[in-house]
Amino acid sequence: MPPDRVKLATSRMQPWNARHDDSAKMSYDIIGRRGYWEATLEDAQAANAHEHSLGILAALKAYPLAVAWSLVISMSIIMEGYDTALIGSLYAYPGYARRFGSLDSLTEKYQIPAKWQSAMGSGPQAGAIIGALLNGYLVQRLGYRSAFALGVGLMAVFAFVSFFGMTVELQAVGQVLCGVPWGIFATIGPAYASEVCPLPLRAYLTAYTNMCFATGQLIGAGVLQSFINRRDDWSWRIPFAIQWIWIPFLFIACIFMPESPWYLVRQGRFVEAEQIVRSLMIESERVQARPLVALMVHTNDLERDITEGTSYLDCYKSTDLRRTEIACISFVGQVTCGAPFAYSATYFFQQAGLSSKDSYKLNLGGTGIALCGTVGSWFLMKQLDRRTLYITGMSLMSLWLLIIGCLAIDKKHPNIKWVQSCLCIIWLLTFSLTIGPVGWTIPAEVSSTRLRSKTVVLARSSYYLAQIAANVIQPYMMNPLAWNWKGKTGFFWFTFASLTALWAFFRLPETKGRNNDELDVMFHAKLKTRKFKKYTTNVYGNYGDRIREV
């Protein structure tokens, strides 16, 4: 075994149970790339207890730089939210529709054909799948810092295609290319936040990625509203150019961002991992740096006993298959809840009979409410369980979609379009309070640390695949030149949202307040879904004593 790998004081050839029977005497005796490093299993146990004892305010005070860097890296997702709002709303944008669409003789308005709406709507997700899978490989081999730097570089280059593309074909190509760095950013954000922040803050800082997504959408809606009266090509080229504003700040972040200590532990670089952890703490908290790294080593060792591999295929083996299922479907729920319908609200508002100006104003207000809802979700996550939030949110959104569909049956009353539009706004608020942030939190929490980046990649890729299918179908449902379902589209998404709520009731376990090694043991014990909340674990004792009901 190379000198930069783990060397335990007790033999790794012993069975998992036997090696932990005398846990108080077991120690980690390691020669890393930058010197000698030693810690006991008692240190790991003390770090676990310390993380559980920290409150939210205490954790914020103790780990200010960890919080700051998590916020900075997740801010890259603003770009994905911005472009998502941009593309979804540009279909109804007068200047964009005139350049890339054709005149509809029935409505006497310019319409982009449904097939090109599908191509531009699905293209970013296709590119994002490539970016996400690439990120899983890069993070394992090179770390988060190098993967993030590559994403920023690709974003700076690929934005030129959308800005200079003057044909609908080039616009579709530009969106595919821009999707590649989006996939990198979307999978780095929650995984990085989960690995640099202490237990009490992980849920909030992984959920913060949804706030960044909503912030991008709010900025996009505001930019589009600002240029709604322009009729030239700059009405849509300037919004595309605004993407470059983020690039210099993200390049600076690439230079100074600390590497994930979990990545360094997996590489056997324990001295460096401790240095990173110390740099993220305040002075008085740094006595906990070595125990925390010992906890990371112990968790990594525990997971290695359960599964040796770290490939994508290993995500589908043994107990990791269940964890991958939960991560993927909880993320896919952000699509099946009806997001393709509600997040193309501007186009829906216009098809319902509202003017372009009223549609964009209503959309701007909706994205503002969604941003406020994400902030409100932090308070809900403190009081309620992940499982409760997910099931409640999905059920409520199913109800709003059902009502929107029912209202579409009666087309005579002039105020129905306003009621439907308001229900879309209520849907956005419900999403931002529940499924939006929790959908980002669950994949990062439920995955094992050795497979975390790959599990998040698979979860986000599943989301993108579902989004591609939805983006192909959604324009046909709404476009007056195609199926022209209008509000009846709510019935379609009500079905999928209800099925997802049913899945969550039977398959989604509670992960709130659980540390990485605790979840490892609980999944390895194959606990039933609804029993996760009722069990406590002792991951430092004999295997038979590690889990019991309270």
19-28, 424-433, 496-505 — which one is most confidently predicted on average? 496-505
Tell me the mean pLDDT in the region 404-433: 82
User: Quick one: pLDDT at residue 481?
Assistant: 63
User: Quick one: pLDDT at residue 86?
Assistant: 78
Q: What is the DSSP code string of 306-338?
A: H----STGGGGSHHHHHHHHHHHHHHHHHHHTT
Whether 520 has a pLDDT exceeding 80, the answer reads: yes
Q: List own/partner pairs for 162-169 with CB under 8 A and 24 or more apart.
A: 162/240, 163/237, 163/240, 163/241, 166/99, 166/233, 167/100, 168/100, 168/112, 168/116, 168/120
Tell me the mean pLDDT in the region 419-427: 84
User: Quick one: pLDDT at residue 304?
Assistant: 77
Q: What is the DSSP code string of 128-140?
A: HHHHHHHHHHHHH
Q: Per-residue confidence at 345, pLDDT binned at 50, 70, 90?
A: low
Cα separation of 525 and 130, whole Å? 34
Tell me the mean pLDDT in the region 164-192: 88
Cα separation of 367 and 436, whole Å? 13
Whether 391 has a pLDDT exceeding 90, the answer reads: yes
Question: Which carries the bigger pLDDT value, residue 39 or residue 11?
Answer: 39
Q: Per-residue confidence at 486, pLDDT binned at 50, 70, 90?
A: confident
Tell me the mean pLDDT in the region 34-39: 65
Cα separation of 39 and 299, whole Å? 14
Q: Which residues contact 168 (CB under 8 A, 6 or more apart)?
A: 100, 112, 116, 120
Q: pLDDT tens across 193-232, in order?
A: 888 988 888 888 888 888 888 888 788 878 877 887 777 8
Tokens encoding 505: 């009731």
Q: Evaluate whether 511 touches 385 at the Cβ level (below 8 Å).
A: no
User: Quick one: pLDDT at residue 180?
Assistant: 92
What is the CATH code of the structural domain delimited by 314-512?
1.20.1250.20
Q: Evaluate whether 96 touches 223 at the Cβ level (below 8 Å).
A: no
Tell me the mean pLDDT in the region 392-398: 96
Radius of gyration of the chain (CA): 24
- Return phi, psi of residue 481, to 5°: -85, -5
Q: pLDDT tens across 375-384, in order?
A: 888 889 888 8
Whether 185 has a pLDDT exceeding 80, the answer reads: yes
User: Quick one: pLDDT at residue 1?
Assistant: 33
Tell me the mean pLDDT in the region 276-282: 93
Considering the chain, what is the average pLDDT of its residues?
81
Whether 505 has a pLDDT exceeding 90, the answer reads: yes
Q: Closest Cα to residue 121, out of 492, 509, 479?
A: 479
Q: pLDDT tens across 63-121, in order?
A: 999 999 999 998 888 888 888 777 766 776 777 888 887 776 666 677 787 778 777 87
Whether 400 has a pLDDT exceeding 90, the answer reads: yes
Alpha-carbon torsion (370, 376, 380, 381), positive or negative: positive
Any idea which of 24-38, 148-162, 394-408, 424-438 has the lowest mean pLDDT? 24-38
Whether 351 has a pLDDT exceeding 70, the answer reads: no
Tell me the mean pLDDT in the region 272-293: 91
User: Quick one: pLDDT at residue 99?
Assistant: 84
Whether 17 has a pLDDT exceeding 60, the answer reads: no
Where do you find CATH 1.20.1250.20 in the chain?
A: 63-257, 314-512
Whether 276 has a pLDDT exceeding 50, the answer reads: yes
Tell me the mean pLDDT in the region 254-270: 90
In CATH, which superfamily holds the domain spanning 63-257? Answer: MFS general substrate transporter like domains (1.20.1250.20)
Q: Closest Cα to residue 316, out of 206, 191, 462, 179?
A: 462
- The model's pTM is 0.75
